[in-house]
Structure 1
Amino acid sequence: QVAREVREKLSELEKDLPADVKIDTIFDSSEFIQGSIGNLTSTLMYAGIFVILVVLFFLGRWRATFIVIITIPISLIVAFIYLFISGNSINIISLSSLSIAIGMVVDDAIVVLENITKHIEKGSKPREAAIYATNEVWLAVIVTTLTIVAVFFPLTFVKGLTGVMFRQLGMIVTLTTITSTLAAITLTPTLSSLMLRLRTKKKKVKKLSYDNTIRRFLDSFDGFYERTLRWAITHKTFVLIVSILVFVGSIMLMSRVGTEFMPESDQSSMSATIELQTGTRVNETKNLARRIDRLLMEKFPEIDLISTSSGSDKDANFATMFSSTGTNTILYSMSLVDIEERDRTVWDIAQAFRNELDMFPEIVNYQVTTSESGMGVIMSNNIEVEVYGYDIVETNNVAKELADKMSRIAGATDIQISRDASKPELQIVMDQDKMIMHGLNTATVSSAIKNRIDGMLATRLREFGDEYDVIVRYKEESRNSISDVENIPVRNMQGQIIRLGEIAEVKEFWSPPNIEHKRKERIVYVTATPHKRPLGDIAADIQQTIDELDVPSGVSVEISGAIEDQMESFADLGLLMVLSLVLVYLVMASQFESLRMPFIIMFSIPFAFSGVALALFITDTTLSLVAGIGAIMLIGIVVKNAIVLVDYINLMRDRGLELYEAVARSGRSRLRPVLMTSLTTILAMLPLAMSVGEGSELWSPMGISVIGGLIFSTLVTLVLVPVVYIIFARRGERNKKRGSMEDYKFLESGAVN
């Protein structure tokens, strides 16, 4: 809103400007935000369409599909009410959270409705089917919701940068999931009893009808899965060995996945600071700037607008607002065309610009940076090395040696040292005795020097309602040498003109560098920008370089910057993961009244992480904070399917079925709900993972990790979990028999005595 009002005001101002004057916007972060929101809105829409198609594919009834889909708007309304009450806006984080939640809110309704349709197809009346079917699965539905809440709700309490970015995600998913569960066990049975009807079998079925194509395929797949499951539960050792090998292989694969703090986002803008030799004349700096301007226009068609400031510390424009300037400095701020209109990313363009700058021998230092932010939070992936020490010479030497070695590390670009070099200055030393003799004081002399060198406001020119300052000072050729400064005239109170050289000494002087402090210690920063290589790999090489340095006593070197943020965030993720696992276990243990049953269900979680490792490796995606949150989300998501399956096995055993038969029948009966809930989440995440628009780089790692983990864990749930269930169940039966035999022997011995 602020940016929109600013643009409107600029449009009004432009009307009053001359015809040859135009106002252009160099950088506008709201454009990236609006583009990201538009992209996420499309993602949300596609996710909803995919969910509808999955439900329709498996159920084959428009009415049944409507009953399931009705939970989506209900849950979204609750989410928007929360955003309104909490004062949050519709932003990148909230829309991403809704995109994630949309595939999960239908899961409970799918489980309930699928069971209701099974009862109806077996001949039950819709009302009776709604009651009995819901009664069979309501406990599993509630437990699955509690596991989701156990994973997402703790996100609302996370502090720091992780909390800022994911607190809203935790609350939105928690509220929408609870709402969808309430709808699944109340609204879904009610609508099913009113809208569903028993399907009458037609004598003639069209070849391309649902019953003759999709239903027949699903029935065949059910049979194939049941045969596979019966084979697996009779070859338990083989299944376990293969599973262990797959898990170990995926863990080894994870070591080949790079790490970074946050995914970089292409915001179609970049800036550059170019430094020439200290003391370079303004004309030389401006001439080089014109050559670079021509180079940019000829070789970089992706650049839309360029703002340049060169060779002066008096220019006040956007490029100089946040940077140090000088006669030897050139500042660039560049706006690129939209990402859809160019073939190269902003990082490729920045690297190409660096390569071109290397061809200019007069450039002693440069830095090309891209605008970076993540989910509305400004951040940088730069690596910083902190050099502490009191001695300026020693810390400078260590920083220079470190910068030289870092420049040889693959992927490390824009190596910068924060401490500036000494700069040439003219120092004017007043002779107090001579000033008193000529009737002058320091203030009068200083004012005279400032007016000649810096200039003074002579008057203001008014034209067509506008005012212009008129500054008067010496020409450049009259203020460039020591003799020029010595010849500056100073007028005393008697009106006499005294030459500055008669009352002061003008000498050349090298000013000391800037000195920064951190924790009350002098510090020098050496920074590097990663390019086409994971942050973690570059940081590891830099740490090795630091370890090999011969650091003098009194000087210490530490690595920080984005890698420090990454380590802190990953530590938070590790703690959050442990907390989620404990909460999920406690929830299931309390509901199943068993310590063993939750362990069986949670057996699928490690293999979800295997899927994450495989997906990140195949797509060449780094493990970042966003991907890590996706992995933690899987803890709550993957156990949902296992809970539905294990709970139904328990129900079948309670009804008198033998162990192996109960597992086989339950597997076939729960196959479609498991596949439906998995596919709705996977396909809802697919637009998030594959999006290529603005802001897509921020959230696609989460989509990739969830999709990979869910695909892998679904296979494990359908095969490995039943095998593990049988192993534990048989051991429990043997222990029960052993206990019964001991009781019998004890009673028998008591009777004999």
Structure 2
Amino acid sequence: MRLPHLAISNRLFVITSIVLLVFIGYKSFKSMPRSEDPFLELPKYSIIAVYPGASPEDMEELIVDPIEELIDELDDIDEIKTEVTNGLAVINVDAEFGIDYDGKYDDIVTEIGKIRNELPSGILELDINQYKPEDRNVVHQYALVSKDVEFRTLYDLAEDLEKDLEKSNVVKKVEIEAYPHEEIRISLDFQKMSQVGISLKQVVNVLKSNNANIPGGSLKSGKLTFNIKSSGSYESLDEIRNIAITSQDNQIVYLKNIANINYDYEDPRWIARFNGEKAIYLSVYQKKGGNILTLSEEIGQKAKDFKKKLPASIQLETPFEQAPAVKSRINDFLNNLLQGVFLVGIIILVFLGWRPASIVVTVIPLSILIAIILLDFTGYALHQISISSLVIALGLLVDNAIVVVENIIRFKKEGFGIGKAAAMGTAEVGYAIVSSTITTVLAFAPLALLESGPGVFLRSLPLTVIFVLVGSLVLALVFTPILAQKLLKDKNTTKSSVIIEKLEDFIEKKYSKTLDFALEKGWLIMLIGVLTMIGSILLFPKIGVSFFPTADKPMLLLSVEQPYSSNIDHTDETLRFIESVLDTTDYVQSYTTNAGHGNPQVYYNRIPEEYKTYHGEVLINFKEWDEERFHNTLNGFRKAFNSNPNGKISFRELQNGAPFEAPVEILLIGEDLKTLKRISYDIENLIAETPGVIDVENPLARAKTDIKVDINRDKAAMYNVSLFDIDQTVRASLNGLSIDKIKISEEDEEYPLVLRIPFKDRPSIRDFGKVSVPNARGENILLSQLASIKFDQDYAKINHYNTDRNTAITSNVTNPEETRKITESIIEKLKDYKWPNGYTYHVGGEYETQSESFGDLGTLLMVALILIFAVLVLQFRSIRQPLIIFSAIPLAISGSFIALFITGWSFSFFAFVGFISLVGIVVNNSIILVDYTNQLLKEGLSKIEAIKTAAKRRFTPIILTTLTTIVGLLPLTASGTSLWSPLGWTLIGGMISSTLLTLLVVPILYKWLTVTYKQRI
């Protein structure tokens, strides 16, 4: 290999390159974005339609079905899930990974635009959203809080703060939320309208025509041109009050004669409080690629200055701030990294002495800087995944340098000059470390291609490790021989350390004899290895399988679900009960209450519910993360909330990974809602009876009672009243009919113009008696003469799964690590259930996501094995020798499973990732051993001599590289985090077992399977 010779002869160029690398790496580290978790770019879209007053069936027929039909015809659509409730439809669309996300969003917008005019004209909102983390994830949430200050005052202050915060270069936007919008309310007196013969239609038409802003053109006069304004914005409410509706008996009837016109707030759709006091929110969103620590510092100062201007009756609070958690998490992982560097350095120092150790340790920061530069270049941030990946790669990146330095020292001991020893020592192991690095890279590379939510979450891990390994390989081949020339010139460097002397003594006295025995009794060693592997596999059921672990954060999102007919005030009553419990819980630092809506999205995989009067959510911040105290508090909450007779209060810990609906989710699919409802009760009971299940939710079990206006069509025809006029009048009277938006010049603001009948609080059934409807002759007919009012039970929610009707039975679990086991026991019961024809089920939730992800990981494992095997075949030009090298993999399984069993961790998603990584790592020692044995055979040694000599000479570097890998992982693994500890123990256990057995099994297999030239002839 000529690379070492070239590096030594171009020493100045190499050193200059290293200096430049340090400078660029430092700049990249300072400027890189920082976040707690990766920004999840997911191919998710949502269409939200708001049509107040419409029943779920009407929403389904008029809005959902036409939209779903169009979306389903688009290419690359993976899944469509729809939830339809009173006046609201949310259509969630999942596309396939790897497509043009923005292009698919444009396709959806275009298709819906084609039918927009065919949808009902009364749709209040029709929003099409693309999932973008910078648009969804709130990085900072403020609350303007006051007991008695008007919302208008709070909103004006919020606007001032919003403008100030948005001046920051790293703030994408600030949204003011949870406040009632102001409107111009025209409260019509239907009795007066009837007396003067004015219909609702007349009022609507006059108001719309008066608000029409039609340009009058322009007029030239001499050298000047004048724009003509014939009409325009209203100057004030008085101008609206004095609009002429009609004239009778030479008298003009003004709007103020038949209605009260005032500013008012819309009916509350989202009630918010902070620590029990009225609040409105300012949600801050970070620009993509921005640094959250910089953002926090900038807006923190602005908020601090803003607080000084507030009156004593208003406070600015912070319900959520992500930056401290990010800073703490990054510092923790950086400390793990530094601890790992220190431990690796100590191990190398003890084994090799300070001069060789200084060479190897120098490679560590340089390799990390290379990885940081490449991460920054490819658009990745510093967060728990990328920094932990550096810790994982720490032990691996020194392997190449250790092998090179150890070999240089060996050549120097044999009498070669330092220059010759550096070149020859590096060249001899060059191909072996290139091959071993490639195999490790090939183990990690497929993980970067995992096309799924977990794959996106994980992607920076394999890329970081690959960048580090490639950097360490280049440095080992180019920079290490140069440093060795400078630092190993002293003759004393050939003197072995005490540890190395003891290790060499162990090799000659213990390992050599054990190796001789293994070569003679190979079948016994192989039998022990096979039995060990079988025994460890038998442990797997006791280890258990889990998906992503909990987030271990001092924060909880608590949900409230009331009966579907519940109004927002009733939901708020339950939330008040929850607040009373929180006020007496010492561990609670603060809480934010939301009625009618979910809390703004403060955790990347918990997407809040949209406007639902029966839904509420509480964000709870605890004083600190104390695992025992946290779980004891949660158990206390469950006991306290069980005494609440109204609604269902549920919660689950925040969890890492991609979002899913619930830990357990069974979708029942079929067309007839009555049949689905009957089945849902059976399945609900079936799930509820399963041990470990809590908070079972069956949407169809919660009935909804509506007031139905039963129109007598014969009477309507007799009185010559159209059904449209009846529907419009009922809607305008009770819910309010927004007919236009008008701009008041004196305030320079735009307000919705809403018609309704006057009532002090909320409309009651008695208010129907005040409503009258015009007929074709302009006469007003009382609604009570045309229709009767009755209560009617209806379906509160209709769900669709890939355009088919369905309902989803969901539940939480007491132990998240038991989710898969619990779901599998439910599946067994579902198989025995007698399903009616045309009805079936689909398993969703964590089980579906986990199965897909584990299946993908299994495929990637096979791909990695095939790629590694192909590289080894090309390197060794043999089928047998790659098989010898692959013997390390089953040996690693034993150690991984035993380590997980002893430490009590389950086989999680990240443990599986660790296992795939292990495949590329454990074969490295075998590659070095087999490659050197082949070299000795070429030099003329017999097979047995070559095996023994190679095993003894490579014993030290193999032990040392394994030890550094394990020691580098220890700080992260010993941290006890449920995300990283399973991965760490998987790697550590596998490294220990494969290394110990490789030093015996590989020589045995080499003896059995390798055919030398002499044997062939």
* Normalised-by-shorter TM-score class: 0.7 to 0.9
The equivalent position to 2:891 in structure 1, one of 578, 582, 607, is 607
User: Unaligned 5+ residue runs, structure 1?
Assistant: 203-209, 741-753
Q: Which amino acid aligns with 1:331?
A: G
Q: Which amino acid aligns with 2:877?
A: E
Whole-Å Cα distance in 2 between the matches of residues 170 and 278 of structure 1?
Answer: 46
**How far is 1:95 from its partner?**
1.9
User: Larger helix proportion, structure 1 or 2?
Assistant: 1
The 1:180/1:212 distance shift into structure 2, 3 A limit, reads: closer
The equivalent position to 1:302 in structure 2, one of 577, 587, 598, is 587
More deviation in 531-540 or 624-633? Answer: 531-540
The 1:457/1:356 distance shift into structure 2, 3 A limit, reads: farther
SS at match of 1:627: helix
Question: Equivalent residue for 2:621?
Answer: 336
Q: Which amino acid aligns with 1:367?
A: S
Whole-Å Cα distance in 1 between the matches of residues 305 and 449 of structure 2?
Answer: 46
User: Larger strand proportion, structure 1 or 2?
Assistant: 2
Question: Equivalent residue for 2:680?
Answer: 399
Query: CA-to-partner distance for each residue in 1:204-255, whole Å, 9 max, x for gaps?
Result: xxxxxx9785344334433432232223223222211111110111111123
Q: Which amino acid aligns with 2:981?
A: S
**Are 2:518 and 1:232 equivalent residues in the alignment?**
yes
Question: Equivalent residue for 2:79?
Answer: none
The within-5 A match list for 1:214-229 is 214-222=499-507, 223-229=509-515
More deviation in 75-84 or 247-256? Answer: 75-84
The equivalent position to 1:488 in structure 2, one of 759, 764, 770, is 770
The equivalent position to 1:718 in structure 2, one of 985, 996, 999, is 999
The equivalent position to 1:22 in structure 2, one of 287, 294, 315, is 315
The equivalent position to 1:131 in structure 2, one of 390, 399, 423, is 423
**How far is 1:613 from its partner?**
1.4
SS at match of 1:197: coil
The within-5 A match list for 1:438-457 is 442=726, 445-446=729-730, 449-450=733-734
User: Unaligned 5+ residue runs, structure 2?
Assistant: 1-169, 172-285, 287-291, 602-606
**Are 2:928 and 1:652 equivalent residues in the alignment?**
no
Whole-Å Cα distance in 2 between the matches of residues 176 and 679 of structure 1?
Answer: 19
**How far is 1:183 from its partner?**
1.9
The 1:625/1:285 distance shift into structure 2, 3 A limit, reads: closer
Question: Equivalent residue for 1:119?
Answer: 411
The 1:587/1:452 distance shift into structure 2, 3 A limit, reads: closer
The 1:420/1:699 distance shift into structure 2, 3 A limit, reads: same
Query: CA-to-partner distance for each residue in 1:716-742, whole Å, 9 max, x for gaps?
Result: 11222122222224xx36x955x64xx
- Does the 8 Å CA contact 1:490/1:499 hold for their aligned counterparts? yes
The 1:398/1:36 distance shift into structure 2, 3 A limit, reads: farther
Query: CA-to-partner distance for each residue in 1:369-393, whole Å, 9 max, x for gaps?
Result: 333333xx54566221110111212
- Does the 8 Å CA contact 2:667/2:807 hold for their aligned counterparts? yes
SS at match of 1:509: strand
Question: Equivalent residue for 2:433?
Answer: 141
- Does the 8 Å CA contact 2:662/2:811 hold for their aligned counterparts? no
- Does the 8 Å CA contact 2:351/2:497 hold for their aligned counterparts? no
The equivalent position to 1:42 in structure 2, one of 335, 339, 342, is 335
Whole-Å Cα distance in 1 between the matches of residues 421 and 721 of structure 2?
Answer: 112
The 1:448/1:167 distance shift into structure 2, 3 A limit, reads: closer
The equivalent position to 1:271 in structure 2, one of 557, 565, 581, is 557
Greater RCO, CA 8 A, separation 6+: 1
What number of residue pairs does the alignment pair up?
709
- Does the 8 Å CA contact 1:451/1:473 hold for their aligned counterparts? no
Whole-Å Cα distance in 1 between the matches of residues 800 and 569 of structure 2?
Answer: 35
The 1:273/1:151 distance shift into structure 2, 3 A limit, reads: closer
Q: Which amino acid aligns with 2:466?
A: T
The 1:390/1:459 distance shift into structure 2, 3 A limit, reads: same
Q: Which amino acid aligns with 1:103?
A: G
Whole-Å Cα distance in 2 between the matches of residues 91 and 387 of structure 1?
Answer: 39
The within-5 A match list for 1:119-518 is 119-200=411-492, 213-222=498-507, 223-276=509-562, 288-298=574-584, 300-309=585-594, 313=596, 318=600, 322-323=609-610, 325-326=612-613, 329=614, 331-337=616-622, 339-341=624-626, 343-345=628-630, 349-360=633-644, 362-363=645-646, 365-374=648-657, 377-379=658-660, 382-419=663-700, 421-429=702-710, 432=716, 442=726, 445-446=729-730, 449-450=733-734, 474-476=759-761, 479-480=763-764, 482=765, 484-488=766-770, 501=784, 504-518=787-801
The equivalent position to 1:571 in structure 2, one of 839, 850, 855, is 855
Question: Equivalent residue for 1:100?
Answer: 392
The 1:437/1:251 distance shift into structure 2, 3 A limit, reads: closer
- Does the 8 Å CA contact 1:260/1:563 hold for their aligned counterparts? no
- Does the 8 Å CA contact 1:381/1:535 hold for their aligned counterparts? no
Whole-Å Cα distance in 1 between the matches of residues 611 and 992 of structure 2?
Answer: 52
Question: Equivalent residue for 2:1009?
Answer: 728
**Are 2:824 and 1:540 equivalent residues in the alignment?**
yes
Query: CA-to-partner distance for each residue in 1:633-679, whole Å, 9 max, x for gaps?
Result: 11111111111122222333333444334333322221221111111
The equivalent position to 1:72 in structure 2, one of 364, 370, 375, is 364
Question: Equivalent residue for 2:811?
Answer: 528
Whole-Å Cα distance in 1 between the matches of residues 896 and 706 of structure 2?
Answer: 59
SS at match of 1:239: helix
Root mean square deviation, CA, Å: 3.9
- Does the 8 Å CA contact 2:700/2:795 hold for their aligned counterparts? no
**How far is 1:560 from its partner?**
2.0
- Does the 8 Å CA contact 1:273/1:366 hold for their aligned counterparts? yes
Whole-Å Cα distance in 2 between the matches of residues 169 and 364 of structure 1?
Answer: 43
**How far is 1:282 from its partner?**
7.5
SS at match of 1:261: coil
- Does the 8 Å CA contact 2:444/2:462 hold for their aligned counterparts? yes
- Does the 8 Å CA contact 2:572/2:616 hold for their aligned counterparts? no
**How far is 1:690 from its partner?**
2.1
Whole-Å Cα distance in 1 between the matches of residues 599 and 540 of structure 2?
Answer: 48
SS at match of 1:259: coil
Percent identical residues: 28
- Does the 8 Å CA contact 1:357/1:363 hold for their aligned counterparts? no
Query: CA-to-partner distance for each residue in 1:430-449, whole Å, 9 max, x for gaps?
Result: 664697699x9547843662
Query: CA-to-partner distance for each residue in 1:467-512, whole Å, 9 max, x for gaps?
Result: 9x99995345x844x3x23443669899999875456432222233
- Does the 8 Å CA contact 1:262/1:381 hold for their aligned counterparts? no
Question: Equivalent residue for 1:743?
Answer: none
- Does the 8 Å CA contact 1:57/1:214 hold for their aligned counterparts? yes
**How far is 1:34 from its partner?**
4.2
**Are 2:920 and 1:636 equivalent residues in the alignment?**
yes
SS at match of 1:103: helix
SS at match of 1:143: helix
More deviation in 445-454 or 573-582? Answer: 445-454
SS at match of 1:19: coil
